């Protein structure tokens, strides 16, 4: 039986979060959303990108200086009564930061909770429960919401993403708070942490690579953004089987035994490199929903051995899909 991950449950207590864990490296649930809010690309230092700038960060009334993002954890210093103290990770619980938006309005964010991923308590993945203050009423509400509109946590990622095309914009000092449920956070949870490195082998040649491009390729895959133009061709909670060609795979195929699963595509940071026999476009056909045929499909169709991750050096991840998902989900679970 293929294990399907579900939607985020409401946590019973702070930090009691159920990650989209991948039982037996099997099937992951994708998402059509790139992020859960518009706070994308605010700067820690230097010039503004996408209109957001940092206008001060305080903890217990004292200013935080030299704030930087290391992995997914913020670090900075405070000078109190002439003594300098380093603050990092969970030290920043309760801190508030001021941001100036593209409309010149000031926003205040409050870090209500910060915790390491419960599934890897000695790891480097931090979750942030963040509230935003309404300047007009003074009330606080969750910065992030999931697909059902419920409050959820965020992951801090370096760089920013173009909200239209989905492209990553590499810009030192910029930070995106990626809300859980959107693909930026989801691909981190699937194991493609852009601040980490891994060994990738192409033929007999093995090199150490950053996972930033695996993460970006994953965002294209999760949204079925075939042409890499920011257009999704999927629905939330559609199962896909994700795998990669890293020497020690982060994700490995989980559906080899099930005849109804076939290769959908190989993916690079710029979109699909090649497509196989089963595309998530069939969901639109099955539901009678009109759509525009992705303009790149003709060029990337009919390529031999698509999905083996051996033919295209630009490919980072691949996936399989079961076209019976819409009208016969049980057939996709091997029943």
- At residue 19 the predicted structure's pLDDT band, cuts being 50, 70 and 90, is very low
Domain boundaries of the chain, sorted by first residue? 1-10+19-32+188-335, 35-181
Q: What pLDDT is attached to residue 43?
A: 58
| Torsion region of 67: left, alpha or beta (phi above 0 gives left; psi -120 to 50 gives alpha) | beta
What does the block give as tokens for 313?
Answer: 């050096």
- At residue 52 the predicted structure's pLDDT band, cuts being 50, 70 and 90, is low
SS3 at position 164? coil
Contact 166, 176 (CB under 8 A): no
Contact 80, 62 (CB under 8 A): yes
Please report, to the nearest 10 degrees, the dihedral formed by the alpha carbons of residues 208, 211, 217, 219 taken in order: 170
* 146-163: average pLDDT: 87
Distances (CA, A) of 225 to 58, 263, 275, 296, 330: 39, 15, 12, 11, 26
Lowest mean pLDDT among 42-51, 79-88, 106-115, 231-240: 42-51
174-179/40-43 β-pairing: antiparallel
Mean pLDDT of the chain: 83
104 exposure class (CB count in 10 Å sphere: 0-12, 13-18, 19+): exposed
DSSP secondary structure string for all residues of 209-272? EESHHHHHHHHHHHTT-TTSSS-----TT-EEEEEE-BSS-SS----TT-TTEEEEEEEETTEE
Lowest mean pLDDT among 40-44, 146-150, 304-308: 40-44
Please write the tens of the pLDDT for every residue from 108-145.
Answer: 999 999 999 998 999 999 999 999 888 778 899 998 88
Distance CA 152, CA 242 (A): 24
- Closest C-alpha among 132, 214, 175 to residue 35: 175
- Percent of the chain predicted with pLDDT > 90: 56
Q: What pLDDT is attached to residue 181?
A: 86
φ, ψ dihedrals at 86, nearest 5°: -90, 135
Considering only residues 21 and 153, tell me which one the structure prediction assigns the higher pLDDT.
153
Distance CA 23, CA 190 (A): 11
- At residue 38 the predicted structure's pLDDT band, cuts being 50, 70 and 90, is very low
């Amino acid at each position: 039986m293929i294990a399907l991950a579900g939607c985020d449950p409401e946590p019973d207590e702070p930090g009691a979060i159920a990650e989209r864990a991948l039982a037996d490296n099997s099937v992951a649930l994708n998402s059509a959303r790139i992020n859960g809010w518009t706070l994308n690309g605010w700067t820690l230092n230097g010039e503004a990108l996408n209109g957001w700038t940092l206008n001060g960060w305080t903890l217990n009334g004292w200013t935080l200086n030299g704030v930087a993002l290391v992995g997914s954890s913020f670090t900075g210093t405070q000078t109190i009564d002439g003594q300098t103290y380093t603050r990092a990770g969970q030290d920043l619980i309760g801190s508030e930061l001021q941001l100036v938006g593209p409309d010149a309005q000031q926003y205040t964010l409050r870090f209500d909770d910060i915790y390491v991923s419960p599934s890897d308590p000695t790891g480097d993945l931090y979750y942030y429960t963040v509230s935003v203050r309404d300047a007009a009423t003074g009330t606080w509400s969750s910065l992030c919401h999931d697909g059902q509109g419920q409050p959820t946590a965020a992951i801090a990622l370096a760089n920013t993403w173009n909200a239209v095309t989905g492209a990553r914009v590499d810009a030192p000092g910029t930070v995106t708070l990626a809300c859980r449920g959107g693909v930026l956070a989801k691909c981190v949870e699937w194991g493609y942490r852009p601040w980490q490195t891994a060994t990738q082998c192409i033929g007999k040649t093995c090199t150490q690579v950053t996972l930033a491009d695996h993460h970006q390729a994953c965002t294209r895959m999760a949204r079925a953004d075939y042409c890499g133009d920011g257009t999704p061709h999927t629905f939330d909670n559609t199962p896909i089987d994700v795998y990669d060609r890293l020497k020690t795979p982060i994700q490995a195929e989980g559906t080899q035994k099930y005849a109804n699963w076939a290769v959908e595509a190989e993916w690079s940071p710029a979109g699909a490199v090649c497509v196989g026999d089963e595309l998530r476009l069939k969901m639109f056909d099955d539901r009678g929903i009109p759509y525009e045929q992705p303009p790149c499909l003709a060029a990337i169709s009919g390529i031999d051995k698509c999905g083996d991750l051996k033919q295209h050096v630009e490919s980072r991840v691949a996936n399989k899909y079961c076209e019976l998902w819409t009208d016969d989900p049980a057939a996709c679970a091997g029943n």
